[in-house]
Structure 1
């Protein structure tokens, strides 16, 4: 179901994004200085059912923003270019950046096993942390089962009755990993690729083990502070989204029809270091631009991050360490990540030189694909 695949980003979201991008290719045109194609794609998403959209981009002509639709279905308040929103799996790039900084400092190695730092945490039903390296966590070649695919978790957190009963529950990282360990791994470590949010929950636990501080503290100290990303936060168990912000909407069902529910308030510990962060489009663009320009990682670690593996069935997307390389229909490569969580679908991408970025958000999880917007902006 779409709401499940949108929780913190998934292979399904990647596949549909690529297909949507291919469908848009026939009409994609270079934006020139006016970005008219990008604006049209944003409006088209709203006309197709997204309540509201917001996007910010920067290129050689400068920074610009556009919005469409509403941020609040009850009041009719429009979306704002400054809106903060839950970014879902875009969190993964921040987590990977911190781990690569720690590697650059000699405090861990990408070839360290999970068991070296977290003995016994990844074990059970065939999982073996002694065979899974940090690198395999970050590029999703570990084979660890994705806890969000667990049926009980899905009923509790993605469907209407369960969501409204449990939206404010606090889940510890250990709880999320334990759910995954009830299942067999997807494959032997290093033999295939499968998107697993559990990988990044474990990655967040690794940061805490190595540094003695939470992954949130390390992101704030190493990334948010130096880049002055004042609209970005790691909320932990805080259930609200800071203002300015709109509302977030979901069907909370296995279909894309039926009533629409306001799901703005929730405890994001269910996503943890796989997808709990909040940001806005301008901050996300600055983050990915700085990352690609070497402002956060030394050259060797940035090269590691951009060393990608194949994603079966998605020919135009490859996955690095918390970073996706997408080849658009016009041949341009953009680097970044998609992200989804209840009521929120986001994407942030930049060219390899960091000079042209786009970040966008739809306040819905059952409709709206970022790919056509990205195609219009970069092609």
Structure 2
């Protein structure tokens, strides 16, 4: 799904609830905990959970029933951060260049309705500035497709304004194909070898066409209450098929932003938002909070799951929260929760 493009105003009532000092007779409660129940009462989620990773340790909280700390869940577009990391690692190895055209790696594939892979770079795919149509606008993100089928659907539409930021899942489906062409292995195999195994993310996987979740897991619900726990991840592919846990996501973003996966030059490239006019880097997007702190991360939405990870620029503080439904009905709640976690408390 598209990332949060602007930080919405945090309602005064939420700010007071999140930032009110704890009673002197009780230990201080992390302020994000106060916002979490609102994801149920105002956001419409059956259950919610968060895991904060800080220099002093980790903190877990949940609201509602049917969700647990160790649960596996679908992470949707958070997959894009993994894909972008692999592409940048390949650039570091000089196996591709971000200035390469799509045509150089996937000859003849991107043609039609005004789309032309000969003028489209890998950088444009990474930053969502290619202009390619988002194939999920046609499928609703509910139809399992092969990568080639997804691309062909997108190519029935003329491009948006190339060079301007236009979030499209098609970009990352193509990057998955580029990884395969360059390495001879699938994007899943490369991500497992380069990221998942080295970091010990034992509960993270690319399920391919497997419709079930690993144990343990709870139930997942669409916005109308339909149980969508069983889902073919080919509805998203390289743009959103990842299955993971709160612990693994916190570990991944801490490692990435902490410099464990990319050299400093490429990490700066990943966070460079100039190509996308300040809205997106490469598999990461920034959010500036009311207190002036900027956090980096991604969100993910797929049927039955909404997830958000945000971290400080050095990766020393990370927050991941999730709900077991497709979307929050109140868009103010996400920025409120991030501000409650990353902005200093006031007395």
Normalised to the residue count of structure 2, the TM-score between the two structures is 0.91
CA pair 360-303 structure 1, distance change in 2 beyond 3 A: same
Cα shift at 1:343:
1.1
Match of 2:114? 126
User: What count of residue pairs does the alignment treat as equivalent?
Assistant: 334
Show the 5 A alignment for 1:12-161.
14-15=4-5, 18-19=7-8, 21=10, 24-25=14-15, 28-29=18-19, 34-48=28-42, 49-71=44-66, 79-150=67-138, 153-154=139-140, 158=142
Distance 1:311 1:28 in 2: 32
In the TM superposition, 1:111-260 aligns within 5 A as 111-150=99-138, 153-154=139-140, 158=142, 170-188=144-162, 190=163, 192-251=164-223, 259-260=224-225
Decide which moves more: 40-49 or 351-360: 40-49
Displaced runs of 4+ in structure 1, greater than 4 A? 20-28, 30-35
Report the alpha carbon displacement of residue 26 of structure 1 after superposing the two structures with TM.
6.0
Structure 2 residue runs of 5 or longer lacking an equivalent are none
Aligned residue in 2 for 1:294 = 259
**Residues in 2 aligned to 1:355 and 1:366: alpha-carbon distance in whole angstroms:** 28
Q: SS where residue 58 of structure 1 aligns? A: strand
Kept in 2, the 8 Å contact 1:31–1:376? The answer is no
- Tell me how far apart the structure 2 counterparts of residues 20 and 277 of structure 1 sit (CA, whole Å): 31
1:275 is the counterpart of 2:240: yes
1:60 and 1:355 in contact (8 A); partners too? yes
Alignment gaps of 5+ in structure 1: 1-8, 72-78, 159-165, 252-258
Query: Which residue pairs with 2:2 in the alignment?
Result: 10
Native 8 Å contact 1:42 1:373 kept in 2: yes
CA offsets, 1:307-356, max 9 Å, x none? 113767xxxx7210111111111111111001100011100111011110
Q: Which moved more, 1:47-56 or 1:220-229?
A: 47-56
How far off is 1:131 after superposition?
A: 0.9
The answer on whether the counterparts of 1:35 and 1:377 sit within 8 Å (CA) in structure 2 is no
Distance 1:21 1:99 in 2: 36
2:301 corresponds to: 340
With over 3 angstroms needed to count, the CA separation of the structure-2 counterparts of 1:321 and 1:22, relative to structure 1, is farther
Equivalence for 1:358: 319
* 1:376, distance to aligned residue in structure 2 (A): 0.9
2:273–2:280: 8 Å Cα contact kept in structure 1? yes
C-alpha RMSD of matched pairs (Å): 2.0
The 1-side partners of 2:175 and 2:211 are apart by 23
Contact persistence 2:257–2:313 (CA under 8 A):
yes
Deviations 1:238-289 (A, max 9, x none): 00111111111113xxxxxxx4100110101110000000111111011001
| 1:60 CA displacement | 2.7
Distance 1:125 1:117, change over 3 A: same
Distance, in Å, in 2 between the alignment partners of 1:22 and 1:331 is: 17
Alpha-carbon shift at residue 372 of structure 1 (Å)? 2.0
Higher mean C-alpha displacement, 40-49 vs 348-357: 40-49
Indicate conservation of the 8 Å contact 1:360/1:370, yes or no.
no
1:284 maps to 2:245: no
Q: Would you say the 8 A contact 1:335–1:352 is kept in 2? A: yes
1:90 touches 1:339 (CA, 8 Å); kept in 2? yes
